[in-house]
Structure 1
Amino acid sequence: MSKEYLMNKVKDIIILTDNNGNILDINKQALNIGKYKKEQLVNSKVKYLFSKDFKEPSKVKKKDNANHSDKKDNICFITMEGEIIPVEIDISPIKNSFDESLGNVIVAQDMRIVKMLQQEALENKRSRDRLYYLSYHDSLTGLYNRGYFEDYMVNFDREKYPLCGFIICDMDNLKLVNDTLGHQEGDEIIIQCAKAINESIISEGIVARIGGDEFAVLIQCVDREEFDSNYYNIKTSIDKYNEGMPKIPISMSIGTACDDRNFLPIDLFKEADDNMYRNKLKQSYETKKVMVNSIKRALISRDYVDGGHVDRIKFICEEMGKQMNLSRQQIKNLRLLSKYHDIGKVGVPESILYKPDKLSYNELVEVRRHCEIGYRISKTTPKLQVISELILKHHERWDGNGYPLGLKREEIPIECRIMAVADAYDVMTSGRPYKVAKSHEEALKEILDESGKQFDPSVVDVFKNIFCEKLFIEKEHSIICS
């Protein structure tokens, strides 16, 4: 019972043989792996269970040491169905108290299980290493994280260097980038910022990402000149990146503080952080202006309907605004709206903007987001704040079936109702990647057909009257009347 219990508790293949290599007993694991029945194997030759590299126990050369053990690699266990299973063999003699050989015990370890366990151990080690790494590092940039930075700030050696300093860098308008171009573009800018800062530091210290758009550098240096070199290196690196005319340039507000070892690091950190926020307030207007101009450039480079589209609808809107006795401010708003109404398209994937076929339902939903994206851009830009509501509502319909708010009739600003007619006319006569351009007469007929549905009837009447009196033509990229 003891022998049976032990043999069947072990997960390896165990076979007992006599001195002639005949099987005396075999454990359940071997039977299960090989899909044999015990009666099939008892008294048969053990060599038939293994590949030709297997050496029978009866032919194992005897050694002087009475309790020797032979290990064999590159041997396979053969199942009832002919499957080949790699095993490692260990053969040990069984002797009685008179040192007489009674047979052998063969232990075969399934190498598949060994490899699986080894792989699991390796994966576990990798997971532990990864968790350890992430406990101190930012997963996106590879820089140290806030937790590690704070520990380092408290515990670093103050006596090693005469000066300690901080450089705090906060990215400008990251939320605007995320809201317009998407988080993938935002992440790419974060990565480029991290790279620029990290490669600029020439002194001993650490660089960490301590917030979504904020980086901190702790520097231990010899003198103020060395500290300043790190600061100017960062500025130079950012300028060099922006000179390459990326789609969205890097804009950062930077604050610094540096002093001798008599100052607590936490006090210097707070001073640098305060200086950074002062700089951010000073340059807020300029950074937003640069960002909007960059988004505008991105829009021009991507917008498949540009080619004079803005100039043409601007002219049409102005003419209609004058005929409808709009105020000077309303006409000024129409000019701005003509120029920036589609600024939110920078947030629409190029694969959709340039798609030559008709858009699917999901793609239409994606395109329609441009009104809300444009609204968010304009709300953060002083120059465009006055038309932010118009950008949001310029695709509403007279009958209430427009987007994104489903406004109807006079709920829609008059500027948007005028824009709707002017934009539709120019789009129809200019064409789309999946639509052939219509003639003047075809476009006018479609606008008249949509009067009271898509368009305000009074606006359509004004458009019709102007259209019949004047011929719109394009010449040398500007619209004139003749």
Structure 2
Amino acid sequence: MGKLFLSERLTEIKVSKFKELFDIGEIQKLQNSFSAATGVASIITEPDGTPITEPSGFCDLCNEIRSTEKGFTSCKKSDSILGVPKEDGPNIRKCLSAGLLHGEACIIVNGIHIANWLIGQVLDEDSKIVDLLEFADEIGMNQAIYCRKLAKVKRMPKQQFEAICNYLYLNALLLSKYAVQNISLVQQIKSRIKSEEKIKKLNTELEEGIRKRTSELVMTNGMLEEFNAELEEINAMLEEEIGKRQKAEDEINTLNKELETKVAERTNQLQELNAILEEEIAEKILAENELKKYQILVEKANDVMMFLDREGNILEVNYAATRVYGYTFEEFSSLNVSDLRHFHNTSVIIAQMEAADKEGIIFETIHYRKDGSPIDVEVSSQGANLANKRVLLSVIRDISDRKKRDDENRYLSYHDALTGLYNRRFYEEEIKRLDTKRNLPISIIMGDVNDLKLINDAFGHNKGDELLRKAAAAIQSACRTDDIIARWGGDEFIILLPKTNKEEAENVVRRIKHRCLSLSVNSIQVSISFGWETKTSTDEDLLKVLKCAEDFMYKVKIIENEGTTNNLIKTIINTLHEKNPREEQHSKRVSELCQLIGRAMGLSEIDISRLRVAGLLHDIGKIAIEEGILNKPEKLTEGEWEQVKSHPDIGYRIMNTSHEMLELAGYILAHHERWDGNGYPKGLKGESIPKISRIIALADSYDAMISMRPYKNALTKEQAIYEIQRSSGTQFNPGIASIFIERLLVDPAINY
């Protein structure tokens, strides 16, 4: 059987462990080749999970997961689930640590489970990244590292992985059977050795008999010589008898030699017969194994296999055919291949299949199931003669899923996934096709959605996506069916209007703008700035027309956006206060406290005005924080706290969209920095924190202390003053804190 499947210790016969039945070095090579060929990780272990071979093709993600406590526990649990013996096929499951596909096949010898062959660390290509990231959170693994490692994991369709697992199961089955056959063969060899030992024993006994007989003859001759003198008288009489005796002895010797020759010849014949018998047994076992292997391949194959005669009648099919078409074996025996094609010219079908056999090609066509539903298939054919009869072996593969994926990919290659409009690639190909004289005049409209960045920062990218979808819907509803509408870039759209003059293009823009009046996202009206231009003669370059439309659009955008950003900021702060009235009251109090501190410090009226506005708007970034987090009565989770800590940065980005608010944006960004440098988002320290931000930080903290919140009770004025004194020099600017406390103490009329 070869070194691969027969260990030197196999002669002990007793089945106990895998290592005693197989050469582990050769098995390791087999495992490594399997892993390299299929792209999956692989290892062979004892039934209790102890590794027998070194792992092949293990991915970095699984090594990283096993380095965490929860990941290691989940991996052990997954291994224990996969390790449950299953004799009718492979175990296929997703692991509990990363949702990766894993498979296992048991190796069983004479009913004893001696090992598991495990493969996996494969990502189902249909898996969603959001679901996979839940595993990272579950095991406490950094999502960025998880995603980076995940990108290197082998990806494949689940169906392909199942096919690999079935192939693994066949290999495990062969290993199990080879071990059983090797054990049986060794037993036969030992039996023959015992027979040869018996023959040798008989030969030895025969030789001993001859030696004894020879000794007797010698003894007899001696006696004759001793009594020769006495027997001289009868010597003459005995000479004849002696001659006869000598002749008899010669005959006996001849017979003995003939017997030895026959025994030797018989021994050689037995040895030759044993050799022939061993060869015949080995050939029979090999033939049976090959037959079983092909039977399994046919039975387990995913592709349909059928034999047809020259008239197209179906002679035989495999199990896959009953699964794919829905007919039973008995029903197939009465069908013609034309019944599967719904095309009743059988000779044409057979001619096509014979041509495929001759030319070595695979062709695609449509077949129909028993229920009448169509399936896309690819067909290959191979002709053969069985019992002097021409037959065709047809292998048929269901490619419906592949065709569907091709159609989806074709759609995605020319469409924008968010809006459903054509994408830039399609537009650039289409403009070449339409740039002809018969389509003149050709108008191009460029559109840019206003305030997308502001809405993304204020309300999140989901609302930004909603704005783009509504803008796309407004454009579509105002255009003709044959007009080409494409998403040009992030917030830009382009409309290609064949046989449309400049005046008609302007009317399209008016219709779009009118439809936008009724559309809004979080109370912010949908607004699009447009520019347009028209090609009227074949001499004009359509790309230059596009550039003119784009330049016109940017000029319009500058004019239309004049003063609108500040209104949008007001809309955002009003939306925040409508969602959470407590935040409105908090902002007003912080604004008043900031002005109080500014006057006590002797700041200019300009700075006090800045404090008033910055105090009112300091928490504008909370518009992007979930209301449930802002009002949560329990302690925030680490992830929720990170969301809350992002509001200064979000507020900065919102304010930064307005030229008039640029200065205030920097104050809002730094209003949670600490004097000792332990604040956020930048960890600024001491005088590097803007003065106005330091004043806002103190006023904001004081109002938070004396206000009732879902997660804590309010402090008294005295308790709050004590906390400010205690945090002076760490959280708060000592000078500002001192002025604030003195102002509160000397002016009891201040109701804060």
Structure 1 counterpart of 2:511, from 233, 240, 254 = 233
The equivalent residue for 1:415 is 692
Cα shift readout 1:5-61 (whole Å, capped 9, x = no counterpart): xxxxxx9xxxxxxxxxxxxx99525854899xxxxxxxxxxxxxxxxxxxxxxxxxx
Letter matched to residue 125 of structure 1: K
Larger displacement relative to structure 2 (266-275 or 173-182): 173-182
Contact 1:75 1:88 in 2 (8 A): no
State whether structure 2 residue 661 is matched by structure 1 residue 384. yes
Letter matched to residue 727 of structure 2: E
Contact 2:513 2:527 in 1 (8 A): no
Q: Secondary structure at the match of 2:448?
A: strand
The equivalent residue for 2:525 is 249
State whether structure 2 residue 458 is matched by structure 1 residue 168. no
Q: Secondary structure at the match of 2:633?
A: coil
Q: How does 1:55-134 map to 2 (within 5 A)?
A: 88=329, 117-118=397-398, 121-134=399-412
Structure 1 counterpart of 2:567, from 277, 282, 290 = 290
Give the CA deviation at 1:410: 2.4
Contact 1:378 1:384 in 2 (8 A): yes
Contact 1:395 1:403 in 2 (8 A): yes
Give the CA deviation at 1:183: 2.4
TM-score (norm 2): 0.48
Percent of residue pairs identical: 34
The equivalent residue for 1:394 is 671
Take 1:374 and 1:75, find their aligned partners in 2: how far apart are those partners?
A: 62
Structure 2 counterpart of 1:28, from 292, 297, 317 = 292
Give the CA deviation at 1:422: 1.3
Structure 1 counterpart of 2:536, from 248, 260, 268 = 260
Letter matched to residue 321 of structure 1: G
Contact 1:154 1:265 in 2 (8 A): no
Q: Where does the alignment leave 5 or more consecutive residues of structure 2 unmatched?
A: 1-166, 168-287, 300-309, 335-384
Question: Cα RMSD between the aligned structures?
Answer: 3.6
State whether structure 2 residue 742 is matched by structure 1 residue 465. yes
Q: Secondary structure at the match of 2:445?
A: strand
Letter matched to residue 139 of structure 1: A
Structure 2 counterpart of 1:152, from 427, 430, 442 = 430
Structure 1 counterpart of 2:723, from 446, 453, 460 = 446
Take 1:361 and 1:295, find their aligned partners in 2: how far apart are those partners?
A: 27
CA 165–450 in structure 1, closer or farther in 2 if over 3 Å, else same = same
Q: Secondary structure at the match of 2:676?
A: coil
The equivalent residue for 1:366 is 643
Contact 1:221 1:227 in 2 (8 A): no
CA 162–470 in structure 1, closer or farther in 2 if over 3 Å, else same = same
Larger CA Rg, structure 1 vs 2: 2
Take 2:663 and 2:387, find their aligned partners in 1: how far apart are those partners?
A: 102
Give the CA deviation at 1:362: 2.2
The equivalent residue for 1:353 is 630
The equivalent residue for 2:701 is 424
Cα shift readout 1:188-226 (whole Å, capped 9, x = no counterpart): 211111111111113732000111111000112455553
The equivalent residue for 2:143 is none
State whether structure 2 residue 555 is matched by structure 1 residue 278. yes
Letter matched to residue 388 of structure 1: A
Give the CA deviation at 1:335: 0.7
Take 1:199 and 1:27, find their aligned partners in 2: how far apart are those partners?
A: 66
Q: Which has the higher contact order (CA 8 A, sep 6+)?
A: 1
Q: Secondary structure at the match of 2:495?
A: strand
Give the CA deviation at 1:168: 0.6
TM-score (norm 1): 0.73
Take 2:543 and 2:321, find their aligned partners in 1: how far apart are those partners?
A: 66
Give the CA deviation at 1:279: 1.0
Give the CA deviation at 1:157: 5.9
Take 2:748 and 2:646, find their aligned partners in 1: how far apart are those partners?
A: 35
Take 2:688 and 2:312, find their aligned partners in 1: how far apart are those partners?
A: 99
Cα shift readout 1:246-296 (whole Å, capped 9, x = no counterpart): 344323221011352444422321211110011122233333223323322
Give the CA deviation at 1:143: 0.8
Cα shift readout 1:327-362 (whole Å, capped 9, x = no counterpart): 222211111111111111223233422323221222
State whether structure 2 residue 380 is matched by structure 1 residue 139. no
Give the CA deviation at 1:129: 0.9
Take 2:291 and 2:327, find their aligned partners in 1: how far apart are those partners?
A: 18
The equivalent residue for 1:186 is 464
Q: Secondary structure at the match of 1:387?
A: helix
Contact 2:443 2:533 in 1 (8 A): yes
Letter matched to residue 407 of structure 2: D
CA 203–229 in structure 1, closer or farther in 2 if over 3 Å, else same = farther
Contact 1:371 1:391 in 2 (8 A): yes
CA 158–401 in structure 1, closer or farther in 2 if over 3 Å, else same = same
The equivalent residue for 1:316 is 593
Take 1:218 and 1:255, find their aligned partners in 2: how far apart are those partners?
A: 12
The equivalent residue for 2:618 is 341
